[in-house]
């Protein structure tokens, strides 16, 4: 694992995306600000490539931050090509194909990423953009952000695993408001519903999000990965299985250097420095 304080900077550019490495933190930026970072199939496939790259052990990545360039996080699927195809009578439109071939494969990979993922939602977060944000373990949103699942407005069923995720996150009634009603909700309401973890002022938002992500990157990585996996398994498992899985995970983390470091300082009021090992 890379020491969170060691500087290893590098940026890789994909279509409509950049992937930046800064010590133990990787930052994936959706980079089509003129379209509020609406996601094309090529961008989603680029995200998959970026996830493969940042998962290489030599990268030593201990957290991933996802953010949007400009005033938006992601305005959903890029429907420009969609609209053109429909106008020209070209049948099944690109974004519909992309659900199966690019968007869902991207989200599966993101949900399966072992290290903590932080989404910094600075502005509009819609459709597949909402799916992308909700694949994160911690969503920090600006006061200026808003969330919407506008599928029904396009006479489309919903995607991005939202029919599975939303009832678990916010309950069935609020999920109905979001999916059947396509209600747009502010970051304050999203926080109140339990859809996101925190709201930060518009001014200084980028810095607040970076600080939060850097704190995750400097955390007890093995314990965070174990907790993340236990939570994911717990969503579809039984309580008995959770007890067993937790006991095995606690035994594993009990053998880590970070656990030893924390135990040594227990009761001293000193914060341990975690190395991710």
Ligand X SMILES: C/C=C/C(=O)SCCNC(=O)CCNC(=O)[C@H](O)C(C)(C)COP(=O)(O)OP(=O)(O)OC[C@H]1O[C@@H](n2cnc3c(N)ncnc32)[C@H](O)[C@@H]1OP(=O)(O)O
Structure tokens at 124: 């509009």
Give dist(CA 206, CA 4) in Å, integer. Answer: 19
Q: How many Cβ atoms are within 10 Å of 90's Cβ, its own excluded? A: 11
CB atoms within 10 A of CB 249: 18
Q: Which CB atom, from 38 or from 106, has the smaller least distance to ligand X?
A: 38
Q: Closer to ligand X at the Cβ: 78 or 122?
A: 78
Dmax (CA) for the chain in angstroms is 70
First to last CA, the chain: 7
- Minimum distance between the CB of residue 93 and ligand X, rounded to whole angstroms? 9
Residue with the shortest CB distance to ligand X: 127
State which residue, 60 or 124, has the beta carbon closest to ligand X. Answer: 124
Q: What is the DSSP letter of 57?
A: G
| Closest to 190 (Cα-Cα) out of 209, 174, 167, 207 | 174
Are 113 and 137 in contact by the 8 Å Cβ rule? The answer is no
Q: Strand, helix or coil at 182?
A: coil
* Rounded Cα gap, residues 72 and 147, in angstroms: 11
Decide: 1 and 25 in contact? Cβ < 8 Å.
no
State the nearest-atom distance from the C-beta of 227 to ligand X, in Å.
30
Smallest separation (angstroms) from ligand X to the CB of 277 = 40
Q: In the block, which residue shows the tokens 């009832």?
A: 167
Closest approach, Cβ 179 to ligand X, in A, equals 12
Minimum distance of ligand X from residue 36's CB (angstroms): 5
Closest CB to ligand X among 76 and 276?
76
What's the DSSP call for residue 53? H
Q: Name the site residues for ligand X (rule: CB under 6 A).
A: 35-36, 38, 75-80, 95, 99, 124, 126-128, 150-151, 154, 159
Minimum Å distance from CB 174 to ligand X? 19
Question: Residue 116 or residue 127: which is nearer to ligand X going by CB?
Answer: 127
Question: Nearest distance from residue 80's CB to ligand X, in Å?
Answer: 4
Burial-class residue 48 by CB neighbours within 10 Å (0-12, 13-18, 19+). Answer: middle
The nearer residue to ligand X, 156 or 253, going by C-beta atoms, is 156
Beta bridge partners of 121: 141
Least separation in angstroms between residue 136's CB and ligand X is: 17
For tokens 């808003």, name the residue: 146
If the CB atoms of residues 117 and 128 are measured against ligand X, the closer one turns out to be 128
């Amino acid at each position: 694992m890379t020491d969170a304080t060691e500087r290893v900077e590098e940026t890789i550019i994909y279509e409509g995306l950049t992937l930046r490495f800064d010590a133990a933190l990787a930052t994936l930026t959706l980079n089509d600000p003129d379209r509020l970072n609406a996601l094309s199939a090529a961008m989603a496939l680029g995200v998959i490539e970026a996830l493969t790259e940042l998962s290489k052990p030599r990268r030593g990545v201990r957290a991933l931050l996802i953010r949007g360039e400009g005033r938006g996080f992601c305005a959903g699927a890029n429907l420009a090509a969609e609209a053109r195809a429909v106008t020209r009578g070209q049948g099944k439109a690109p974004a519909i194909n992309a659900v199966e071939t690019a968007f869902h494969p991207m989200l599966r990979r993101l949900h399966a990423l072992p290290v903590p993922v932080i989404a910094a939602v600075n502005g509009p977060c819609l459709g597949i953009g909402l799916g992308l944000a909700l694949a994160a373990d911690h969503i920090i949103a600006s006061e200026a952000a808003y969330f919407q699942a506008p599928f029904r407005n396009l006479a489309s069923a919903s995607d991005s695993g939202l029919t599975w995720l939303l009832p678990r996150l916010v309950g069935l009634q609020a999920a109905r408001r979001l999916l059947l009603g396509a209600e747009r909700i502010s970051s304050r309401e999203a926080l109140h519903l339990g859809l996101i973890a925190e709201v930060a002022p518009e001014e200084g938002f980028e810095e607040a999000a970076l600080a939060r992500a850097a704190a995750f990157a400097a955390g007890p990585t093995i314990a965070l990965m174990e907790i993340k996996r236990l939570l994911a398994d717990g969503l579809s498992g039984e309580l008995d299985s959770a007890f067993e899985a937790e006991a095995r995970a606690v035994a594993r983390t009990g053998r880590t250097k970070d656990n030893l470091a924390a135990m040594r300082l227990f009761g001293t009021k000193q914060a341990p420095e975690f190395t991710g090992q």
